[in-house]
Amino acid sequence: MRNLLFEIKYLFRQPAVYATFIAFFVLSFIIINTAGGLFDSVKIMIQGNSKIYLNSPSIISFITIVFSILGLAVTANIFSSSIYRDVKYSNDQIMFCTGINKANYLIPKFIAPLFANTIVFLAVPLGATVASFMPYLDASYFGPFMLKAYTIPLIQIAFPNILFTGAIFFVLTALRKDTSINWMVVIVFYVCYVLSISISHDIDNQFLTAMLDPFGSLATAVVETGSSISDKNTESTSLEGVLLYNRLLWGGLGVVIFLVGYLKFRLSLASSKKTKKKLATTNGAASRSVQFFKQIKVPFVQQQFNFSAQLYQLKSLFLLELKKLIRSTYFKVMVVLLLVVTIATLGQVGKIYDTVTYVLTYKVAETLFVASGLLYIVFIILFTGELVWNSRKFKVNHFEDASALRNFHFVLPKLFALAATVFVMLLIQWLCSFAYQTYVGTTHEFGVMGIFILNKYLYYLLFIALAFVINALVGNRFVAYLILGLWYFTKDYLANYLQHNLLVYNNTSTYIYSEINNFGGSLLGEYSFRLYWVLFAIILLYFSTHLISRGSETHFKKRFKALQQVSLTKHLKKIGPLLVAFILVGSFIFYNTNILNEFQFSFGRVKKQLTYENKYNYLSELPQPEIIALNTTCHIYPEEGKIDYSGDCYLKNNTNTVIDSLVLNLTKKVKLVNENELFTLLDKDENFEELHLYKIKQPLQPNDSVKVAFTYLTEKKRI
């Protein structure tokens, strides 16, 4: 019992536990607020039905399942850190010599993270509860408060999921004495879960499909099938039938995995005969190496510190890091997972509701990169942490820190190596897509696929740069994982709030492929924004290399003071041209988006709309004719990015009164051809240029009609 209390107290002294709790609380709070209509420009609908209350048992259960899936990395961190702590600080040998038995050592280390992780997941219903009481949200989205709506999902969804996944992470870390394997398991979980969901629609046996889902989402959906909206708003999902069997299966499997790990665990440094044999071989080789080096005369070396020597060092370190990455088992596992996702996705390309269409290159690219996008992001987040913190893991960081290498020698080779591996993974997907299109008999357009891959690669490069910057600034890789994950999953909300791509890192203008004119000039905006963010990322990397932890000084304040010791003039000499280029590219983009084209933030549009309605609300009382016929002709100019509409419409007076005035909302692009013949412009507000108030020269009697001709010209102005 004392060991258990010690483990629990230790876990709750860790900042990562509180940071995760706060992150889950904030995310749950934001989701309910967003669904409740807090942001005018952002609207989400949970479970696809607006009639289900946001604080209903069904919605809270759904959110809990989502966090159980997305929170796998959190579970891996908490469970692995509990058992790996002694290995990390070299206390395992001391602990094993104290005479402690296996039960007193392992069981508290398993129960403590199980309890801590459950408390962390308590933040999900807590955040939803607090959000439901916010006075600024529309009360019609919420029903009466029910405590069971928040507690039951935690018990029957979150706890069994934590027990199953936590047991896997705990046992793997205990037996391998390494945490790296857990991050690969997280990726495997995500990939297998996405694939199982995608193929579940092709399986007729719902019971089997639900039982194979370890998180209980499909089992919950099966139990809720046929439930009315009233039942979902008031009744919790019953723990019966397939949901009961599912929870017992996966929760029980978690207990079995822990028991197997318990039986295989040994309270010794060498836990198996293979390990002992390996240690003996290593010791023998070490002794022979010592005898060998005693016979070698060390030659004289001429030291060089010029620019070419630094480039040679970068090249050597880059090749070293690249070989380590490519040869690692984890990278090979990633490639296998990527192939699985790619092959499974290619089989779905061209299918629209089971209707088979041509497998065109742009469809392959769009489908493939959407399906594998999360896999790349997880790969970058995890491998960046491994590269940055690997030397501390093997306790050689002090040797590196004491070397004469500059800070950028520690960052750039790792960054380039990770970028090269991502490029290799994209090439693998390219080859798979080419082979598949050749197999089905469609032409592979190399130029189109190349542009899609280039755009995606630039996106991943910028994310890699951000990952290295965050790891350099934060003194804990797990906190860095959390920050990067939060940024990735909330960046769309941030983009909808800030609304301008100049303000949201790695956001660009939208590019669309068309079979008429390929990308239609949209690549100018894509590459302008990419260049803008690449320059910004290089500037960030420059300053972050001065803030990386070297030696025993890991506090940010002390590292920031070291950065300040270098004069501002020296910094500007190095990055001055980059700053100038960054400002020039940003100015070019701003000129295109805000001056050549019209741009207005949503809050400005809402304010303008409110003023418009207050000022011209009286116009809604005026009788107006109705459009009874419309004829249009459209001319498309793909190469010029221009569309020219022309046509006419018939306005008919369907009222019992004479209509002598006409109210129209016309943009600058719309022109009335016969305006002077039919109408006289009475009023045009400079603040609301779209509003046109006309006096009809020949008033419309009841049932009279008039023909109005118009033109509409739209053309793309650069970005």
pLDDT reported for residue 611: 82
d(CA 719, CA 703): 47
pLDDT band for position 379 (cuts 50, 70, 90): confident
d(CA 591, CA 445): 34
Given a contact cutoff of 8 angstroms between Cβ atoms, the answer to whether 512 and 366 are in contact is no
Q: Tell me which of 468-472, 483-487, 681-685 is least confident.
A: 681-685
Q: Tell me which of 36-40, 206-210, 442-446 is least confident.
A: 36-40
Mean pLDDT computed over every residue of the chain: 82
pLDDT reported for residue 277: 55
Q: Tell me which of 486-500, 598-612, 659-673 is least confident.
A: 598-612
SS3 504: coil
pLDDT reported for residue 312: 85
Say how many C-beta atoms besides its own lie within 10 A of residue 136's C-beta.
8
* Residue 91 CB-density burial (10 A; 0-12 exposed, 13-18 middle, 19+ buried): exposed
- The total number of residues shown for the chain amounts to 719
Per the listing, tokens 């996008």 go with 373
Tokens of 254: 């978690």
For residue 299, pLDDT over 90 is answered with no
Residues 249-277 have pLDDT tens digits of 999 999 999 999 999 988 766 544 555 55
Measure CA 509 to chain center: 18
Given a contact cutoff of 8 angstroms between Cβ atoms, the answer to whether 441 and 346 are in contact is no
For residue 39, pLDDT over 80 is answered with no
Given a contact cutoff of 8 angstroms between Cβ atoms, the answer to whether 152 and 53 are in contact is no
pTM for this prediction? 0.75
Higher per-residue pLDDT: 159 or 236: 159
pLDDT band for position 393 (cuts 50, 70, 90): low
Counting other chains too, the contacts that 540-543 makes at CB distance below 8 Å and 24 or more residues apart are 540/465, 540/466, 540/469, 541/411, 541/415, 541/465, 541/468, 541/469, 542/574, 542/575, 542/578
Tokens of 432: 């798979």
For residue 481, pLDDT over 60 is answered with yes
For residue 525, pLDDT over 70 is answered with yes
d(CA 174, CA 118): 21
CA-angle at 449, arms to 445 and 452, nearest 5° = 150
DSSP state, residue 550:
B
Given a contact cutoff of 8 angstroms between Cβ atoms, the answer to whether 247 and 279 are in contact is no
pLDDT reported for residue 105: 87
Residues 46-66 have pLDDT tens digits of 655 567 888 888 888 888 988
For residue 43, pLDDT over 60 is answered with no
Higher per-residue pLDDT: 293 or 396: 396
- Single-letter residue type at 677: E
